Structure 1
């Protein structure tokens, strides 16, 4: 992990950070105009909380000395809460006139709200309900829908997928003909990611040295993951424990790579960390409002790179033949997938019910099978995800819809890409999207 050139006195800064964090709350409540010292304290608190939850720090590419200092500090989660509250008060009292700096101030404020919430959950050894998690961790209030409202979509799928057995059984059987053979996975994904990159590069200028490594893994609660390592480099992992259908190649290539997570992290590093010296962007806490923007842009990025019917055309012409699948069925499968996507918010509702303790694990699995049309194995994998990440599920669909509404205020493709880039290079969060 490489320290950035903007921090020449790492040892002195580490000492200063530890000294600042040791002050009593009443000693650090003076309004300031320079956010950098506060941002350094924020990074330290994120790293300290990461010592209590291995999933919390999604990426860190700042000074190694800061990570070591957090490890050695041994701060209890209750102490982290107290320190974060004091730091948040100071952030809020900062006097700033520049609009960009006010965006930065707002970012730090909301990220600290999320940090305090997550630290409290670890302190009390209990998780907040779905709505509280959404508001405190992700800076938003997602819509709520009754599961019964998804019945008309299920009825349409009943007509589209013939055969015997329940709709779920028929859907699971139907999708098997679109699974990428295991020996074709690497070739198909590498081709898809390169196409995602080529299309994104027409509108986004990434660091010349950016790169990634692709790995296939098993036994994970997620389907794909981008581990950003700093210096514009990512490790992209694809989970192969469940069969992967052909539509997921472009989806994951865009989402995890271009113009999704890899592009997002590389551009934040370049524009905010390196160019502006904003050290808070050297760390990425997973359970935070930043994740809604990250996941929302990654999912909407699929449509940015492949607008209209271009994804279907590319899959039919290139990926189906590469995977050895029947391209004559591509259009039919595309219609099926568009209907299936309309069930996405049912997954938010099953998570809501489970996190609010209105249903148990077995009921969750049954509802996933009934309303998301998943196999039992897929439903249990989703259960593992919700148990591990809670209300994080809203970031994929609700995050995408918020990003889409922001982007589609523009009337031309060029301006839409400009607005998309704005989200990849600025500290905007759900509550500051239209600032």
Structure 2
């Protein structure tokens, strides 16, 4: 039987060795610095180490810990296969890294959603022009973003603390960045701390801010990372949770938590009232414009699988980028410039398979919350659950 520390140290050291070949594989680390050994080793050797670690994981006594480590290490095995030059079919890459099935959006359903959006958008002209005209009226300029996010974070933090509790000493900083392929990001720093970045390359609307702050902060990524550090590392000694891996099944659950975070602390009616009332006044925006943009957002909520479908067209089917950009422009209802920003995400090496963590993770977590109700979200924040465990407990549409 291996000592408890041994398996965590092996896991963390291998993660750093993989990250030396694939920077960004590690999303955050707050454990012992002597384990953060990034000395490059041959990918073939790393593959052997990953295979050996998978065998050693089976010796872990605690069932819950063993099950979580097993799927995480399978992702490491997939990564080392890719690093060693093995060519995997894109859908097999998604399965191997994330323990999920990639899904294609139904074109008929997407077209139906466009018809709903047509009715939701005021004015005349193309869908993109009408959407952008409305969006521009509810944009929060970068100079005002931090001021407008302050009351949003304060309310979300208090609701999270009341409903789920927060570890003593947790906290994060928030800043504005540009030149990134994502809209917002939470960087786990360890010590119950994290950093949230908001990308100002594309317009940030008031209507999207509560969801963004819930997603990255309370009760989303920051809350999950700090709660698991407190419960799993500090209380149980499972030091593998000092590290967060970007290309691993934990991200499916994490993105599922984050995409459902706002719904876990506020009803849709509360969000609507908040945005069209206090927050619109604070940002100096017309509440009627805010209400109209909320209707548009609701109409587009059924189109969340567009980016995944685009990734399948590009990486699985080998369709040209021009066709993928046209698909993204049509179904995300964005300009070609914006579609190219979407394409940047799904072509980035560490993110190309990641895109499915949002849609699949969201459905898995929503189903888990619906079937377990009392205490379900609190469990997701504090327990090491896997996508496969969520999938076997609830049907996923």
TM-score (norm: length of structure 2): 0.94
Please state how far the C-alpha of 1:260 moved relative to its aligned partner. Answer: 0.5
Of 61, 84, 108, 2:50 maps to 84
Q: Residue in 2 aligned with 1:242? A: 202
Native 8 Å contact 1:35 1:105 kept in 2? no
Please state how far the C-alpha of 1:296 moved relative to its aligned partner. Answer: 0.4
Matches within 5 A, 1:149-168: 149-168=109-128
Q: Residue in 2 aligned with 1:334? A: 294
Q: Residue in 2 aligned with 1:275? A: 235
Native 8 Å contact 2:221 2:254 kept in 1? yes
Is 1:45 matched with 2:2? Answer: no
Rounded Cα–Cα distance in structure 2 between residues aligned with 1:63 and 1:427? 21
Rounded Cα–Cα distance in structure 2 between residues aligned with 1:145 and 1:397? 10
Q: Residue in 2 aligned with 1:102? A: 63
Is 1:360 matched with 2:320? Answer: yes
Q: Secondary structure at the match of 1:225?
A: strand
Of 421, 424, 428, 2:378 maps to 421
Q: Secondary structure at the match of 2:371?
A: coil
Of 28, 31, 35, 1:59 maps to 28
Please state how far the C-alpha of 1:134 moved relative to its aligned partner. Answer: 2.4
Native 8 Å contact 2:9 2:35 kept in 1? no
Q: Deviations over 1:109-136 (max 9, x none)?
A: 110111111222222175x444212211
Gaps of 5+ in 2: none
Q: Secondary structure at the match of 1:178?
A: coil
Q: Structure 1 residues 44, 95: closer, same or farther in 2, change over 3 A? A: closer
Q: Deviations over 1:141-167 (max 9, x none)?
A: 143333233111111212222444432
Gaps of 5+ in 1: 1-31
Is 1:118 matched with 2:82? Answer: no
Native 8 Å contact 1:133 1:391 kept in 2? yes
Is 1:134 matched with 2:94? Answer: yes
Native 8 Å contact 1:130 1:390 kept in 2? no
Native 8 Å contact 1:228 1:234 kept in 2? yes
Rounded Cα–Cα distance in structure 1 between residues aligned with 2:122 and 2:277? 27
When Rg is computed on C-alpha atoms for both structures, the one with the higher figure is 1
Q: Residue in 2 aligned with 1:391? A: 353
Q: Structure 1 residues 40, 263: closer, same or farther in 2, change over 3 A? A: same
Is 1:71 matched with 2:38? Answer: yes
Of 215, 218, 225, 1:265 maps to 225
Rounded Cα–Cα distance in structure 2 between residues aligned with 1:252 and 1:333? 16
Native 8 Å contact 1:300 1:400 kept in 2? yes
Q: Deviations over 1:328-353 (max 9, x none)?
A: 23333222111111111122111111
TM-score (norm: length of structure 1): 0.86
Rounded Cα–Cα distance in structure 1 between residues aligned with 2:246 and 2:377? 21
Native 8 Å contact 2:121 2:292 kept in 1? no
Rounded Cα–Cα distance in structure 1 between residues aligned with 2:301 and 2:115? 14
Rounded Cα–Cα distance in structure 1 between residues aligned with 2:24 and 2:318? 26
Please state how far the C-alpha of 1:35 moved relative to its aligned partner. Answer: 4.6
Rounded Cα–Cα distance in structure 1 between residues aligned with 2:289 and 2:131? 15
Rounded Cα–Cα distance in structure 1 between residues aligned with 2:286 and 2:99? 44
Q: Residue in 2 aligned with 1:401? A: 363
